[in-house]
Amino acid sequence: MSPNPVTILKEHKLRITNCRKAVLSTFSDKQSALSHADLEDILKENYDRVTIYRTLKTFLESDLIHKVLDDSGATKYALCSHNSDGTHHHDHEHIHFKCEICGKIKCLEEATLPKVSLPKGFVNKEMSLLVTGVCDKCN
């Protein structure tokens, strides 16, 4: 069971707005990474492009969503995992899977990234890995 958007917003000490609830619900319903354009297409009847952009920016800054690597060059976002009580338990360094048929991108949090040794003087800021193939629904 997905946690209630209001619970998530309260846990992250964010103001509860209709747009924020709608964006969270959309991520929860779709169960895959979404771009700003995807959200705009889904929510355009009620929210403008700028409001959705600001909501995404706030969610990124609050560690509620994370950016997802996409081989198409589009920036996509995925909802960080939450327990049913709304508590956050997400590690941003995990593998993402993109289906070559439906195009959906899913977080594979149970799979771990390999350890990478960087040359002296290099500092790791973020790691991501995208695996492409066919998802369970398209297979």
Q: Which tens digits make up the pLDDT trace of 96-126?
A: 888 999 988 887 877 777 888 899 999 987 7
Q: Assess if residue 106 is contained within a domain.
A: yes
Domain-located, residue 138: no
Q: Is the pLDDT of residue 127 over 90?
A: no
Number of domains the chain is built from: 1
Q: Do the domain assignments include residue 9?
A: yes
Summarize the chain as % helix, strand, coil (round to 5).
30, 20, 50
Q: Distance (Å, rounded) from C-alpha 68 to C-alpha 59?
A: 14
* H or E stretch at 9: helix 5-11
What's the predicted TM-score (pTM) here? 0.76
Q: Which range among 1-15, 33-47, 74-88 has the greatest average pLDDT?
A: 33-47
Q: Confirm whether 110 is domain-assigned.
A: yes
Q: How far are the Cα atoms of 38, 50, 95, 112 from residue 91, in angstroms, in the given order? A: 24, 28, 10, 10
Report the distance separating Cα 67 and Cα 84, nearest Å. Answer: 23
Q: For residue 122, give the CATH number of its domain.
A: 1.10.10.10
For the chain, what's the residue count? 139
3-state DSSP call for residue 4?
coil
pLDDT value at 77 more than 60: yes
pLDDT of residue 17: 96
Given a cut of 60, whether residue 63 has pLDDT beyond it is yes
